[in-house]
Amino acid sequence: MHRLLKRFYLRTVQAMEISYRLARGIDYKTLSEHILSIHQLKDIDSILYKSARCLKDILDYRLFAFAMRDGEAVDIWLDPKLRSDNPAILDVIKSDLCVAGDSYILHHFDDEASEAPGSGFQQLDNLRSYRVLDAGFTARMYLLPNRIFMPYHHDIIETIVKVVGTSLATFMSIKRLQDAALIDPLTLCYNRRALDELLDRTIAGTRRYGTDLAAIMFDLDNFKRVNDTHGHQVGDHVLQAVSRTVLAAIRKSDYLIRYGGEEFLLIMPETKLGRAVEVADRLRRIIEITAIQYGGVRIHVTASFGVADLKGDCDRNLLLQEADRRLYEAKVRGRNRTSPDAQLLLFDTVPMPEPAYQYLN
């Protein structure tokens, strides 16, 4: 009997070793296939999505999270989407990356199919955290495995972390070089060259995730008087002061573009029309009360704002045309106004004539 038990034990051990080797071989083959794909990707969402799919295939995770801080901007990716408005994982991430309040942008790979029931994973006892090292940004990856965690899984995850870090570092380096060529040197806003790429990418993300998008077009009122009265050097200083004021008052996820001369365009992802109108009117009031100093000269300027949102059948051109139409409407109504008016938003459906740009400033 003792001999039979020993033989059974040895066979069991051998079977387990064979199973272990087979599982390890399959997992490493999966890893290799995904790594080849990751190296070919050119944007952050795709890099992280492919990395998450690799980990899903190997560990069948219950929760994947990735958080990255680049300067003041903090982005967080979660899979699956959690029903809880404040899952515990967000508290962990905010503590690790020193995020104040809700000053971050939350992304999901699939807003509908990946939504998970429950309390948002309030119990994170088995949460694994990995630091992604790079001189240009701070990032961490988080994982709640659903399968038994084998010793070789440490090596697999470390490999993925290194690949993600390298891919993101390459992407960020290219992005910074591109941004340098896409920044208006006077106002430090994005320039017209950047508009098409930024807006197309933002619209694509809005369509993909089913979120909202708003555009605010604003223009300094009677700006020609500033140049004629004080000179173009003072006018440039006014443009710089206004752009700094607006940049300091908007979210890091918003894009401020110098659309031309004294005209600006603010792109606001994940923003409904009503909220964008509120932001526009707040910016209008801030500009109105700001005293701009240049030498012994003290200047006050005002601005008019037109707000539009991305509707179901709307494309980039229609979005900009609607924002431009609303800006013209604000000018016609007396300047230093926001259109649509926040209080009349639900009732303001009166059509406006075609813009006559040369007559309004």
**Domains of the chain in sequence order:** 2-181 (3.30.450.40), 192-359 (3.30.70.270)
Contacts of 115 (CB under 8 A, 6+ apart): 80, 81, 82, 83
Relative to beta strand 138-144, strand 63-70 is: antiparallel
pLDDT of amino acid 314: 81
Mean pLDDT of the chain: 82
| pLDDT per position as a tens digit, 284-295 | 999 999 999 988
Q: Report the share of the chain in percent with pLDDT over 70.
A: 82
Q: Yes or no: say if 323 and 217 are a contact pair by the CB < 8 Å rule.
A: yes
Task: Return the CA Rg of the chain.
Answer: 27
pLDDT of amino acid 72: 74
Q: Please count the other Cβ atoms lying within 10 Å of the Cβ belonging to residue 249.
A: 13
Q: Which residue has the higher pLDDT, 16 or 267?
A: 267
In angstroms, rounded to a whole number, what is the distance separating the alpha carbons of residues 40 and 46?
10
In the sheet that holds 255-260, the strands lie side by side as: 255-260, 263-269, 213-220, 303-309, 338-339
Q: Which residue has the higher pLDDT, 312 or 199?
A: 199
| pLDDT per position as a tens digit, 130-175 | 998 775 788 999 999 988 888 889 999 999 999 888 888 888 877 7
| pLDDT per position as a tens digit, 168-222 | 888 887 777 667 788 898 998 999 888 988 898 889 888 888 889 999 999 999 9
pLDDT of amino acid 69: 86
Q: Yes or no: say if 31 and 159 are a contact pair by the CB < 8 Å rule.
A: yes
In angstroms, rounded to a whole number, what is the distance separating the alpha carbons of residues 183 and 216?
19
**Is the pLDDT reported for residue 15 higher than 50?**
no
Q: Which residue has the higher pLDDT, 81 or 92?
A: 92
Q: Which residue has the higher pLDDT, 225 or 28?
A: 225
pLDDT of amino acid 109: 77
pLDDT of amino acid 345: 59
| pLDDT per position as a tens digit, 26-53 | 888 888 888 888 888 878 888 899 999 9
pLDDT of amino acid 122: 58
Q: Yes or no: say if 319 and 289 are a contact pair by the CB < 8 Å rule.
A: no
